[in-house]
Amino acid sequence: MQYRCAIIDDEPLALDILESYIQRTNQLKLIAKTSQLATIIQLVDEKRVDLVLLDLNMRGINMDSLQYLLSKDCRFILVTAYPRDVLTDKGLDNDFGYIAKPASYKRFIKEVERVVEGVTHH
């Protein structure tokens, strides 16, 4: 099965690195890369993506919109410079995948496989 992916990050270099990782992975297909949360929300609402790679630390992010997005029936991997314990404090560590920036391809693929195999709750 091929999973349709979207990336949301406000760092162009991070977008490019994640895009290159997706392109190297046969089970993934990139649908969108953006810095706009509204774009990702629309794709998730329309069920056009299966997996979202999401940076939590973006300028101008609306927490209500973020919470709405994270409540949707989609798999998420949080790609962030935040340490995992910060996510634990926010109650996010068990429901979503996690990749610390900067991420190696090896770490990326390991977390993608874990998330798409349904080890997380989403």
Q: In this structure, what DSSP letter does residue 117 have?
A: T
- pLDDT tens series, the chain, 122 aa: 899 999 999 999 999 999 999 999 999 999 999 998 889 999 999 999 999 999 987 876 777 887 888 888 899 998 988 777 666 555 555 678 889 888 899 999 999 999 988 754 44
Distance (Å, whole) CA 78 – CA 112 = 11
- Cα(first)–Cα(last) distance of the chain, in Å? 18
The whole-model pTM stands at 0.87
State the residue range of the domain holding 47.
3-116
The span from the CA of 87 to the CA of 106, in Å, is 22
Report CA torsion sign: 16, 19, 21, 23. negative
> 91: part of which helix (H) or strand (E)?
none
Total structural domains within the chain:
1
CATH number of the structural domain spanning residue 23: 3.40.50.2300
In a domain, 121, yes or no: no
